[in-house]
Structure formats: C-alpha cells, structure tokens
Amino acid sequence: MTTTQDQASDSGVIDMTDLRNPVLTPIQEQALAGAASVPIAFTEEAILGAAMAETGLSDFGADDFRERLGVWMQAVEEDDNASAITRVNLFQMMVRYAATRLRLEDFIRRNPQVLDIEIERPIIVAGLPRSGTTHMLGLLSADKRLRSLPWWEAIAPIPAPGDEPTAEDPNPRWTRAEQGWAGYEAVLPYMAIMHEFSADHISEDIELQAIDFSSYLLEWLSYAPRWRDYFLSHDQSGTYAYLKRAMQALTYLRGPNRWVIKCPQHMEQLPALYKTFPDATFVITHRDPVGSIRSAMTMALYASRILRKRVDPEEPKGYWIDRYERLLRACVRDRDVLPAAQTIDVYFDQWIKDPDSVLREIYRIADLPLTDEALAELHSYLAETEGKQKKGKLVYNLERDFGITAAEIRKHFDFYFDRFPVKPEVR
C-alpha cells in the first residue's frame, strides 16, 4: 500500500499521486471516525451558549454580527459534502470566535482607553492567496520595530484565566497553539509545506476580522457560495473597523503601535481598507494567478481526504477559478482608490531578482529607515526561510489532477494582465 507520506523522493520532491483516490493513513481514519461520533447543531443558541459557558461572559457588543453568523451556519448546512471533521472544526471555530468576541468586548469595557490608541501608519500587504504574501509578511515582521500577529496570539488574542505565565509554561497560549499544529500536521503532514500554522508563524489579520463573523475565511474551510455572495454584496467597512478595534486592544496588551498586517482578501476590499487605515503604506503583490490557483486547488484536494465526504477535483476547480476572478476584478476596479504616494505594486519576478531594492522602496514609502540592523534581520529571515524550504518541494500537475491546462485557466484573467505587467509563469 502506498500512502501520500510515501511519495517523497530522496531529492525532497513530493508527488502526491493519490489526490484523486487517496489512501488514508490510520491517523486519518481514526480522526474521521472520532468526528463522526460527535453530534453537531449549527444554531445560534448552541454556538453562543457554548461561548458564554466557556467565558462566563454575556456581552457580545454590537448585535449586527448575529446576521452574519446566521449566514455562516446556513452556508455550512448547505454544504452536503462536508465531512464530519469539517463540521466539528467549523462548530468549534465559531465557538472560539464568539468566545474571543466576548473577551475582547469585556477587555475594552474594563479598559476604555484602548480605543484612544492610534494605529500608526501600518504597512499592509495584499496579494493573491497562495502567491507569496505570507513570505512578504513574515519578512517584514522580522523587523522588530514592527508589530505583527503570531499564530498563537491570533487564535487567542485576549488572555483567558489560566493563561498567566508560570515557571512550567511561560506562555500557555503558545503551548496550546503548538500542540494544535502538531495534531493537525500529524493528520495532514504535507500541509506544513503548503501553509504552515506553527505557533510562531505570522498570521493573517483575517483571524481578527473573523471575530466579527465576516471575511472570506469560511470559503477556505467549506464550499460556501451563499456566504460568498452575501460577503461580496455587503459593505465590509464595519468589519474592518472591528479589525482595527482588535488591533488597538492587542497594542495595549503588547505594543508597539506600528503594525505590519496582510490578507489576500484586502485586494477585493481596497475602499474599506483605505477608509479604515488612511495613513497606511499599501504593498500590493502581483503574480501569475495560474500558479496561485494551482496551489490553492492542490491544497484543497489534498485536504479533501478528511474534509470532504467524497473527493471531487471538480469542487476546487469549479469554485476557485471563479473566486480568483471575482477577487482580481475587484482589485482592477478599485486599485486607484489607494494614493500613489502610499502604495507600491510588487511584481514577483522583480521581487525574486532583487528583493533588497523592493524592500528599500517599501521602507521609503513607509518613511521607516532601513537601517543596517533591520536589513540584517530581514536577511536572517530570508536565510531561515530558504532552510525550511528544503523540507520538500511539491509537484503540481493540473492536467493529471484536475483535467485542465494552465492556458485554460489563464484565459479567465486577460483583464488582469491588461491592467498589470504580470509575467506568466506556469506553462
């Protein structure tokens, strides 16, 4: 029997030849069986009740989030191919966000001065999902003058009782995050190469938007066209204001107030982003969408072995090509909303060829001195990242795994290539 884990060659090249017909490992089979035994009820009473019981709190702040929570739940219920693991994970995730919202509102009520904190000229990265934005975020976060959001803090922004440092555990939130990642990696081992979620990994700010039960996050965890349509048809200014509210609380807890954040979703929310952070430096990264889509679809198909009842390559192909087109059309439409003096478009081929020149321009626009010390920190991060990449390199095969060619995908994006001088990469 050949499992996915056996498909790595001595050279570190990993070819997941069982994507369409996965051979499950014993751990994956156990996880599916365990989730199937857990009863799940996607109701507001169940989710918010569990959050209140966990925290001992009851004030969620503004009630408009309840409508969005309702659409989340309905979208998940309509996803009839979602596995038991997906349903359990999403229920637990919704409870976590609701509990975090309770803790955040309670924290601000007890510390109203939080809302007086200025989020000073943040650096905000936006670019296609699965296209290198995480690398850009991690690199800029290596500059210790900037505040970022590590994964351990993103999933538990406000300390709960029991999160106090002890001699045995100086950071219980970090410990829980690392344990969670170890469990996830044991079930889906190649996810560490596709998208790492270790405790110190720098997170997208999407985790803070999700406390307001918005963002496109749900679309990555379930096939949720109902939520996609609702999300894209509603002004997201309120959720971006809530993102800033959470950043103010985190700055109060652990400064400084000069942030670097990122989320691919920002590309389709540029007006709301600029309205919320009018003094920001905006770093918009561009890359051949075919490579990004290929990566997203492959990641989704790999995870399908435990997240879907049946593995169907038409699901990611049908959803993500269309979703990327919607995102990029919004970017093309709204790009000029951002002030030219505060914005840089970063093209992948230039970035790979000469990263220092791109960094110098970002720092110039941000009016942040690129000191020798800061540049040394950034170079150290780059060296460390190159070492991690030696863990393995995935093989992507669009025709074998999805029955489609790069050219067939790229024809959907002529409008994007017409607007931005992006070089095609995938042939």
Residue 116 is given by DSSP the state: G
Q: Bigger pLDDT: 131 or 179?
A: 179
**Residue 390 pLDDT more than 70?**
no
Nearest to 122 by CA among 291, 215, 250, 295: 250
Give strand pairing partners of 150.
202
Q: What is the pLDDT of residue 134?
A: 84
* Residue type, position 403, single letter: G
What backbone torsions phi and psi does residue 344 show, to the nearest 5 degrees? -130, 130
**Residue 132 pLDDT more than 80?**
no
Could you read off the pLDDT of 395-416 as tens digits, one per residue?
Answer: 999 999 999 999 999 999 999 9
**Residue 323 pLDDT more than 70?**
yes
Q: What is the pLDDT of residue 2?
A: 43
Tokens of 66: 């309840």
Q: Does domain 4-419 have CATH number 1.10.10.10?
A: no
Q: Among the listed ranges 73-77, 104-108, 148-152, 195-199, which one has the minimum average pLDDT value?
A: 195-199
What average pLDDT is seen over the chain?
94
Give strand pairing partners of 393.
13
Rounded to whole angstroms, the Cα distance separating 205 from 367 reads 23
Q: Among the listed ranges 363-367, 383-387, 420-424, which one has the minimum average pLDDT value?
A: 383-387
Q: What is the pLDDT of residue 276?
A: 98
In the predicted model, what is the mean pLDDT of residues 273-298? 96
Angle at 55 between CA 50 and CA 57, to 5 degrees: 95
Q: Among the listed ranges 228-232, 262-266, 368-372, 377-381, which one has the minimum average pLDDT value?
A: 377-381
**Residue 195 pLDDT more than 80?**
yes
Q: What is the pLDDT of residue 7?
A: 55
* Residues ≥6 apart with Cβ < 8 Å to 195: 130, 134, 299
* Residue type, position 236, single letter: Q
**Residue 3 pLDDT more than 50?**
no
**Residue 57 pLDDT more than 70?**
yes
Rounded to whole angstroms, the Cα distance separating 328 from 416 reads 7
Nearest to 154 by CA among 109, 237, 114, 96: 96
Q: Are 65 and 239 in contact (CB under 8 A)?
A: no
Rounded to whole angstroms, the Cα distance separating 223 from 215 reads 14
**Across 222-270, where does the E strand assignment appear?**
260-262
In the predicted model, what is the mean pLDDT of residues 282-293? 95
Domain coordinates of the chain in residue numbers?
Answer: 4-419
Rounded to whole angstroms, the Cα distance separating 241 from 276 reads 6
Q: Is the dihedral of CA 300, 305, 310, 312 positive or negative?
A: positive
Rounded to whole angstroms, the Cα distance separating 56 from 106 reads 11
The length of the chain is 427
**Residue 391 pLDDT more than 70?**
no
Count H helices and E strands in the chain, helices first. Answer: 21, 6
**Could you write out the DSSP letters of every residue in 194-209?**
HS---TTSBPPTHHHH
Q: Among the listed ranges 66-70, 134-138, 211-215, which one has the minimum average pLDDT value?
A: 134-138
* Residues ≥6 apart with Cβ < 8 Å to 196: 181
Q: What is the β-pairing status of strands 123-127 and 281-286? A: parallel
Q: What is the pLDDT of residue 389?
A: 56
Tokens of 68: 């969005």
Q: Where are the alpha helices (DSSP H) in 111-171?
A: 133-141, 151-154
In the predicted model, what is the mean pLDDT of residues 170-189? 96
Q: Are 356 and 375 in contact (CB under 8 A)?
A: yes
Tokens of 218: 């749900």
Q: What is the pLDDT of residue 11?
A: 61
* Residue type, position 269, single letter: Q
Nearest to 212 by CA among 277, 157, 292: 157
Question: What percent of the chain clears pLDDT 70, i.e. is strictly above it?
Answer: 96
Rounded to whole angstroms, the Cα distance separating 247 from 165 reads 22
Tell me whether residue 310 is exposed, middle or buried, using C-beta atoms within 10 angstroms of its C-beta: 0 to 12, 13 to 18, 19 or more. exposed
Q: Bigger pLDDT: 371 or 240?
A: 240
* Residue type, position 200, single letter: D
**Could you write out the DSSP letters of every residue in 78-95?**
H-TTB-HHHHHHHHHHHH
